[in-house]
Each structure stands twice: as C-alpha cells, then as structure tokens.
Amino acid sequence: MTVENGGTKFYFRCRSTVDIQTGKILAERRQQKVLLATRDTRLYKNLRSSALHVKAGEIRRSIIAWETAALNGQVVASDGTVPVPPVEPIAPNGDITIAEFFEKVFIPAKRGLRDSGKLAAVTFETYQNYWDLFLKKHLNHQQTFRNYSAWKGQSWLENLKKEDGTLYGENTVRKIRSVASAIFTEAIERGFLDSNVPPKHNPWRDIRVVKLPSTPTEQGVAYTEAEVETIIRNLDLELGATNKPLIEARDTNIRNAQIALALGFWAGLRPSEITALRWENVDVTVGTITVCASVVNGIHAKRTKTGENRVVTYLEPLIPILQAWHKRQGSPKSGLVIHRDGEHVSLRHLSDNIIKPSCEKHGLGERWNGFYGCRRGCGTLLVQVGATVEQGAKFLGNTTAVFEANYWVDKGEASAQGAEVYRRHKLAKAQQAQVAPGLTEQKKLQGELAALGLGDGVQQ
C-alpha cells in the first residue's frame, strides 16, 4: 500500500496478469494501482489503520481468485465474480481408481469451494500438497475404492520414512491420514462406495495414528535462547529491503515471523496456538496468555491440542516484545495477535519464505527446522534453569509423562532425592528415640547419629 496526493489518498499496488479492478485478462503482467480510501479521522488515519488493511486483503483475495481463474481457463463475469469450476460428471463406480477420483472429482470440487470462500485456501493447499508429496504414489492408478482396505494404509504408514531413513513427525502422519480420510469421505458422499462391503465405509477411520511409528512432536531440534535471539536480530536486517518486491507486505511478514518466534520460545506455544492467539486472551500488563484455541490446516478450533485451556505467565524477555507489538498494532482489545489483513497467517509460509532464507544467509540454515523448535527450546530451557517436571508440563500444556519423557534428563537427581528421603527418615527415627530416658541409650544414639553424619557425637 502507498499514500499519495499529499498524504490524502491510500492506494493498493501490485503486478498482475489481470486487471485488478475488473478481473479481465491482460496481454502481459503489469504494475497497477487501485484506490483504497481517502484519509479521514476515523477509519483511515494512516497506513497502519486496520480498516485499510481489511480492504487491501479483500482486493488481494479477488486478484488471486481472478489469476487462478485465468490459469484454469475460466471467464470472469462482468460483475467480477469467478464461476465455480464444474466437477466432471462421473457416474459413481467403486472400480474407479482413487487417483482418477482425486484428480477429476475431489480437487475440482474443493477448488470451487475455495474460490467461493467456503473452504480456506490453506486447507485446499494441504489437500494438494499432501497428495503430491505422499498419497499420489500410494493411492496410485491401481488402487480402486473397491479393492482398498484399511490394512493397506496401515502397512504403508508403518513403513513410511524420510529419504535418510528417519521417521516422519506425528503431525505429518496425522495430516496424511486426515487428507486420505477426506478423499474417502467425499467419495462416500457421492456414492462411489455404495456397493463396497461393507458399504459406505471409510477404511482410513480404522487406522489409529497412535499405533503408528512416528517421531513424537516434542522430539526434534530444540533451539537455544541465543539462537532465537540471533534469528530475530537477523530478520531486523531484512526490513525495508528495496531489492525485494512488495516491501511493505514483506516487512509485515518479517515482523509477524519475529513475534511468532518470540511466542514460540518465551511462551512455549505450539504453532497452532500461535496462529490462533487473540488479544482478548493476552494481558500485556500482567504478562499472561490464556491459551484456549488453535488453528490446524487452516481450521480454527476453540480448543487446544489437549482440549484443556492453560494460563501461561510468559518468560521475561517476551514482556517488552509483546508490549511494543501491542502498541504498534494500535493497542487493540480484540483481534489476532499475528495476522495478515486481519486473517490468520500461514506459519509455514513465514518459515519457508522469510525465516529459512535469512538463516541460510547468516549460516543457520542447518539449524532451522520450523517453529516447533522454539517450543522444544522453551521446554529445554525450563529444565536447565531448574523448573520441576510438574512446572514445565503446566507451562507447555503437556502431561508430566510427556514432559518427563521429552525434556527431563535425569543426571542423578532422582537417585539423590531418594537418598535424601532415606536420610531424613533415619534422622526422624533417631530424634524420636532421643527422648527416651537413660544416659546409656542416649550415648548409643549419639554414636549412631555420628556414624550417619547427622550428629556431632559429643556426649552430654
């Protein structure tokens, strides 16, 4: 966005292959601008005004829909609406391959929902990406709805590994299962599994992720506090880069990435919790966050991963960061803490397009492994500074068993505590016996205490 005409007019600028006001296809991509608003004292005060960003977001979404329509050979109507692409009429048949169903029925239907605003763009992208990366090879042109059974998916996921032989993370396995299940659910709704035995049954619902080999989410790369501080400082150097397109939009992404890093490390939030965090649940004065929602695959849920809300008194370095961010946003009482034009951001986009290139530029490319490393780093730091298993578990929203298994490394503390329990027990018994009459018994007791290192052995 830019401000022109002596600071009175706000414009949206971008390069596009379509007319950004009508959606009509242009002969070539060119720079364009459209008036957003005229400065006033209420809604459109300056470039930081939220109402201005909302309008810019609406225009941006229209442009994306128009460009997508152009790529798909669709014609934009005179009123700027994009027609929903027709789903190829294929008669329900259990012998159709799952790959053909995905390509000719499932993905066109989901694309239509996305273009009409009934499906989040990130959800559509998840369907397409997980199909291309994982499911396409498995649900190939030999697998039909009629001959597919749960054991095939179970066996495949049990043997699914990365190129280096390591296991995929639990979240990845869950998403693979979720996308596969969505494909079968769509097929059931369209009658493609009516003649199966049993009919209308989704085999992917029989596959339990908890019984599949995977790397627990809490295991993996854990960044140190110094690394997170360095990454945030390095991103400062990327602000205002004139050699990059759309400077303002890029700077917004950079600042969002910095806040996400800070929330992940010093508040221990999961990426899904960072995406969903709202100012209604942040007290920047007291320094607490109420974690009560999550966004997974673009789907907003009014619950956390564990289903339990928690109040986090975040670590001290985050206090001035959130206070400054809150002030920069106009001291809002509601709305998303991290957003793009008032909407949820994609942390994957920030990770891949903002943070990772910066880390590679500054020699930290091999260390960057996504936002979850911040949360793991927080758990590790809590243990290092002396937090108990119970305290660390409460902070991260884990069970004590999960926190102990993934963060607590016993370096002899547990056995030392056991020995201390015995020592105190023995001391208590000895002290009770001291009140018994008789000098001989008292001398005997003092000798025992001295031998145990609990008394001075001096006779009274």
Task: List CB contacts of 3: < 8 A, sequence separation 6 or more.
Answer: 9, 10, 11, 39, 46, 47
Instruction: Record the tokens describing residue 364, joined without a space.
Output: 């930290």
396 in a structural domain? yes
Which comes out higher in pLDDT, residue 219 or 353? Answer: 353
Nearest to 145 by CA among 109, 93, 110, 189: 93
Q: Percent of the chain scored above 70 by pLDDT? A: 82
Q: What is the pLDDT of residue 460?
A: 45
Give alpha helix (H) positions in 237-371: 247-266, 271-276, 318-328, 347-350, 356-361
Please state, in angstroms and rounded to a whole number, the distance separating the CA atoms of residues 246 and 33: 13
Verify that 372 and 245 share a domain, yes or no: yes
Average pLDDT, whole number, for the chain? 83
Q: Number of folded domains in the chain?
A: 4
User: CATH no. for residue 331?
Assistant: 1.10.443.10
Verify that 181 and 287 share a domain, yes or no: no
**Alpha carbon 54 to chain centroid, angstroms:** 23
Please state, in angstroms and rounded to a whole number, the distance separating the CA atoms of residues 264 and 82: 39
Please state, in angstroms and rounded to a whole number, the distance separating the CA atoms of residues 133 and 118: 25
Q: What is the pLDDT of residue 390?
A: 92
**pLDDT(408) > 70:** no
82 in a structural domain? no
Q: Which pLDDT band holds residue 448 (cuts at 50, 70, 90)? A: low
Once rounded to an integer, what is the mean pLDDT over residues 21-30?
84
Q: Count CB-CB contacts under 10 A for residue 50.
A: 15
Verify that 424 and 319 share a domain, yes or no: no
**pLDDT(439) > 60:** no
Examine the fold and report which residue of 71, 87, 116 is the final residue of a domain before the chain moves on.
71
Please state, in angstroms and rounded to a whole number, the distance separating the CA atoms of residues 250 and 371: 19
217 in a structural domain? no
Verify that 204 and 133 share a domain, yes or no: yes
18 in a structural domain? yes
229 in a structural domain? no
b/e 68-87 (16+ beta carbons within 10 angstroms → b): bbbeeebebeeeeebebbeb
Verify that 67 and 129 share a domain, yes or no: no
- φ/ψ of residue 288, rounded to 5: -130, 155
Instruction: Record the tokens describing residue 6, joined without a space.
Output: 């002596």
Verify that 116 and 55 share a domain, yes or no: no
Once rounded to an integer, what is the mean pLDDT over residues 189-210?
89
Radius of gyration of the chain (CA): 30
Select, from the ranges 13-22, 197-206, 296-305, 399-408, the one with the highest average predicted confidence (pLDDT).
197-206
User: CATH no. for residue 147?
Assistant: 1.10.150.130
b/e 327-343 (16+ beta carbons within 10 angstroms → b): eebeeeeeebbbbbbee
Q: Which pLDDT band holds residue 182 (cuts at 50, 70, 90)? A: very high
**pLDDT(85) > 70:** no
Q: Which pLDDT band holds residue 183 (cuts at 50, 70, 90)? A: very high
- Express each pLDDT in 325-378 by its tens digit: 999 999 999 999 999 888 888 898 899 889 999 999 999 888 898 898 999 999
Contact 294, 276 (CB under 8 A): yes
**pLDDT(163) > 60:** yes
23 in a structural domain? yes
Verify that 372 and 421 share a domain, yes or no: no
Verify that 424 and 354 share a domain, yes or no: no
Instruction: Print the domain residue range for 187.
Output: 98-211
Once rounded to an integer, what is the mean pLDDT over residues 88-111?
87
Verify that 309 and 433 share a domain, yes or no: no
Contact 217, 169 (CB under 8 A): yes
- Express each pLDDT in 228-252 by its tens digit: 999 999 999 988 876 666 778 889 9
Verify that 377 and 445 share a domain, yes or no: no
Verify that 271 and 364 share a domain, yes or no: yes
224 in a structural domain? no
223 in a structural domain? no
**pLDDT(50) > 80:** no
Verify that 143 and 255 share a domain, yes or no: no
